[in-house]
A and B are shown apart, each in its own frame.
Chain A
Amino acid sequence: MQRIGVFVCHCGTNIAATVDVARVVEAAAKEPGVVHAEDYQYMCSEAGQLKIREAIKEKNLTGIVVCSCSPRMHENTFRQAAERAGINPYMVEIANIREHCSWIHKDIEEATEKAVILARAAIAKVTLNAPLQSGTSRVVKRALVIGGGIAGIQTALDIADAGYEVDIVEKTPSIGGRMSQLDKTFPTLDCSACILTPKMVEAAAHEKITIYTYSEVEKVSGFVGDFQVDIRKKARSVDMSKCTGCGVCQEKCPSKKTPNEFNRGLNTRSAIYTPFAQAIPNVPVIDRENCIKFKTGKCGVCSKVCQAGAIDYEQKDEIVTQNYGAIVVATGFDTIKLDKFDEYSYSTSPDVITSLELERIMNAAGPTKGHLERMSDHKPPKSMVFIQCVGSRCADKRGKSYCSKICCMYTAKHAMLIRDKYPGVEVTVFYIDVRTPGKNFDEFYRRAVEEYGVNYIKGQVGKVAEKGDKLLVQGVDLIDNKRILMETDMVVLATAIEPNPDVRKIATMLTASIDTNNFLTESHAKLRPVESPTAGIFLSGVCQGPKDIPETVAQAGAAAVKVVGLLAKDHLVTNPCVAKSDELLCNGCSSCEKVCPYGAISYEEREVNDHGIRETRRVANVNSALCQGCGACTVACPSGAMDLQGFSNRQILAEVDAICK
């Protein structure tokens, strides 16, 4: 017979203001098996824990129920307290009467009744609890970083500097991410390449870092401390070990009509290409869809001109399988598509561009060699209009409800740089608000207005129309309360950013959660901002939310510290709440194996003794080191053979019964 103690916490007024704790104690005391019930102001405090320990000793308790906050907060605290008093930590159950009750109810009657029911359910469950022993699992001393933008590079460098092996998997032919496309960077206006390239080189040279470019994560299994990952290295068609990076192949390639992704399609590139001059690795790839050799079988020019003999048309994709203790997601962002924003004439006029396209135009290695010119006639503009919040803070479904956070600053940057280099160009910015919190940020914006004479107009633009070789901008000035109609030569759209669309696939593979906007969610918005709710998965950079480079780098370092903290452990304590199949009930039907996300279930032919009948049966076998206790198998099993220790079918049904009593 179990001897159960119930401890009801006030949580200051968090619980006690809405739940009549005395009544919960009274009701719990009447439940079968309960030999002790009391309440206290803060159960989690030293004094509260002492009460639990004393009661366990004095009343010889075999199990306890704490009616308090979510088990995510203090289950561990109370398990440890129980263990110190000599009972198995898994003989503790939490009734969540805060998040599930006091915080969501106003009426004391209702809340108290519900708290009593929740307590009763936990008592019913703990009555059926059995002591469980946890084991240990290994920690593979190697981390994986998905995405080789500034976030991924910085995280990898920090982990590697702490002495651990890191692999970076980057989808495109080079690491660098968006930052490599930028010209100058706020708030200090240093050249993006000048500060990024050294980091890229450092990562490539680091003995602890392996970079897989032109590669993608294909499959992930395992769990914190021991993930197994398949990486697909797409065929580059160029032998990395032979290529010297001379670039003659790209010069001679006759197929030169492919839109250049790196320059946002503003010019074209050859079928064999490196995205940009400082690319790492400096080894081109053949874009097989646009290569004449792959399309028609003829050509082969690159192979002929390559002195190093590095071209290999036969190369195949390669799968690398590797184990990792931790995984960092750093998949970054893209600007949104503008197909739903016809009013800005983006798709019809080449002189309406996005801010990222402007970065390329201003860049010395860009499509115009850094000369500011219109894409339609290559003439220098005499005036320019910037429109902020295109698709950001958007009330309707065409855009995003959130603020992209970086656009106010980079628009001020663009305006200032243009006024500095081309003082004759008139620059107007339409804005809803200018949001520039951050160290030296507001000063930066004010410089654009005060020193560089940028014309800021508070108001939105309703339409951009083509008028001859000019653009006609119709907007409103909310401060002077008047309509504005102005002619200009170029329009730049500060386009909203969104997570890389691929991230859904990555999140699914990692069982990491994403929010409605596809940003990866952190485990706790305030206290665990770089951890995903899935153990062993960490977040770095814009994939978690809009941010600029300084913030990205800071977060990248934070994620690295968390990874290092994990990798430094010798082993992890495993959860003993694992599944187990009852051999006498198991049909060997394979339903469970199909749903197990961790591949923990296998089958064996086992001789069983079913009430005197000896026969060899195919039965399920759970590898308790692999099982994560998710419970998926227990619901897939028709006969109820599969059961989760600590959450058995019987325990769950007992809870339901107690609730429905």
Chain B
Amino acid sequence: MQERLVERAKELLTDGTVVRVLGWKQGDLGYNPEPAYFNSPEELADFVYDGFCGANLSKYMIQAGKMEGNTLVFLKPCDTYSFNQLIKEHRVNREKTYIIGVGCKGTLDIDKIKNAGIKGIESISQDGDMLKIQTIYGEKEFPFDDALLERCTVCKGKTHQVYDELIGAQEGEEAGPKGNRFEMVEKLEAMTPKERFAFWQNELSKCIRCNACRNACPACSCLKCVFDSNKFDSAQKANVDTFEEQMFHVIRAFHVAGRCTDCGECSRVCPQGIPLHLLNRKFIKDINEFYGPYQAGEDTDSRAPLTDYTFEDVEPSVVTERGGKH
């Protein structure tokens, strides 16, 4: 697959369709490829596409859209929702983008492998249903499915929402068996407010405000985030006590509500392992229940339930009747 992608990228660079390629290149470890631009066929030597290419490249297209010439970008099925949502918000330039939808078997969570006691990892390759892991202590095996990121165990589907061509994927492809992505949210809903508060206090107090979640989030695409702006003093406000981060995360969750595609990047990039996606999923679940199923990024022109009004909308009084929680 990786070879086919490189080959096609070379063609598109050579025939002038695009002037640069946005993809992933090998990182310093065997399992941390990073987003990168490739400006010539030669540079593509470093190109990589494997289970660790979790990074969603959609957001980089905001910048790329402002550069001279067209850009080729590789998007996994779930990444295309983010790209669509960015089109809807007028943040990316569809005309200057050539999208290759790449097939995806699921992206991997290195921590799951490390937590299984596998140490000194040098490189990882896939062999059927198993991962072959070269370590300084010799070769180890690990089941592929057990190493999947949480988001991939509840995959939205293998269908690309927007693309110019597909490689390693087909139109209308089905996802494998899916878990219930709201399982944990339901557990949180069942907790007493006190328990829930304790849960979040415990999680959010781990936050070191590195801003990785915000920087990776395709919905957090503001030119100037309110937390960096001196117009509202909100940056200082979010810092007033040890439980400061709740303000940051709760405000961020509100800002992305109805726009979050549930791409899972926030939780994936968090160095502290905070399950941030649960905040957003609570919003998604509520929106689905109150306004009918809605998936951000499924299209580029519909009106999102939270910024739309219809006569069928729930009235506050029936929110609880329909199962809404306080």
Contact = CB atoms under 8 A, between A and B. Distances in A.
Interface stretch (A146-154, A193-201, A589-597): A589-597
Interface in A594-635: 594-595, 603, 610, 615, 618
Contacts of A650: 231-233
Interface string B219-237: 0011111100101111001
A163 interface: no
A636 interface: yes
A640 B232 CA distance: 8
Nearest to A650: B232
Contacts of A590: 88-90
A615 B232 CA distance: 25
Given A585-B224, A587-B89, A639-B224, A594 B231 contact: no
Nearest to A610: B223
A576 interface: no
Interface in B211-258: 221-226, 229, 231-234, 237, 255-256
Contacts of A508: 311
B114 interface: no
A653 B231 CA distance: 11
B307 interface: yes
Contacts of B307: 591, 594-595, 636
B311 A594 contact: no
B308 interface: yes
A122 to B, nearest CB: 19
B94 interface: no
B90 A615 contact: no
Interface string A622-661: 0000000000000010111000000001100100000000
A589 B311 CA distance: 25
A470 to B, nearest CB: 44
8 residue pairs, one from A and one from B, having the closest CB atoms: A639-B222, A589-B89, A594-B307, A638-B255, A640-B226, A595-B307, A588-B90, A585-B224
Nearest to A596: B307
A639 B225 contact: yes
Given A584-B224, A639-B226, A618 B255 contact: no
A638 B222 contact: yes
A504 B313 CA distance: 13
A505 interface: yes
A653 B224 contact: no
Contact of B231 (A588, A589, A610, A640): A640
A589 B256 CA distance: 12
A508 B313 CA distance: 12
Contacts of A586: 223
A589 B226 contact: no
Contacts of A587: 89-91, 221-223
Q: How large is the interface on B (under 10, 10 to 19, 20 to 34, 35 or more residues)?
A: 20 to 34
Interface in B252-307: 255-256, 303-304, 307
B66 interface: yes
Interface residues of A, number: 25
22 contacts: A505-B311, A508-B311, A582-B231, A584-B223, A585-B229, A586-B223, A589-B89, A589-B90, A590-B89, A591-B307, A594-B304, A594-B308, A603-B90, A618-B90, A638-B255, A639-B222, A639-B226, A640-B226, A650-B232, A650-B233, A653-B233, A653-B237
B226 A594 contact: no
Interface hub of B89, B224, B229 (most chain A Cβ within 10 A): B224
Which of A504, A508, A615, A638 gathers most chain B CB within 10 Å?
A638
Interface of B: 66, 88-91, 221-226, 229, 231-234, 237, 255-256, 303-304, 307-308, 311
A582 B90 CA distance: 17
B219 to A, nearest CB: 8
B79 to A, nearest CB: 19
Contacts of A610: 223
A638 B223 CA distance: 10
A653 B311 contact: no
A638 B258 CA distance: 12
Given A584-B224, A649-B232, 7 more contacts: A585-B223, A585-B224, A587-B90, A589-B90, A636-B307, A640-B229, A650-B232
Contacts of B229: 585, 639-640
A493 to B, nearest CB: 30
A589 B232 contact: no
Contacts of A504: 311
B90 to A, nearest CB: 5
Contacts of B88: 590
Contacts of B304: 594
Contacts of B223: 584-587, 610, 639
B123 to A, nearest CB: 41
Nearest to B225: A639
A415 to B, nearest CB: 41
Interface string A526-557: 00000000000000000000000000000000
Nearest to B221: A587
Contacts of B311: 504-505, 508
Interface string A487-512: 00000000000000000110010000
Given A585-B223, A638-B222, A640-B226, A653 B232 contact: yes
A653 B221 CA distance: 24
A645 B80 CA distance: 39
A638 B232 CA distance: 13
A327 B221 CA distance: 43
A618 B223 CA distance: 12
B280 to A, nearest CB: 14
A647 to B, nearest CB: 14
A393 B290 CA distance: 34
Nearest to A608: B223
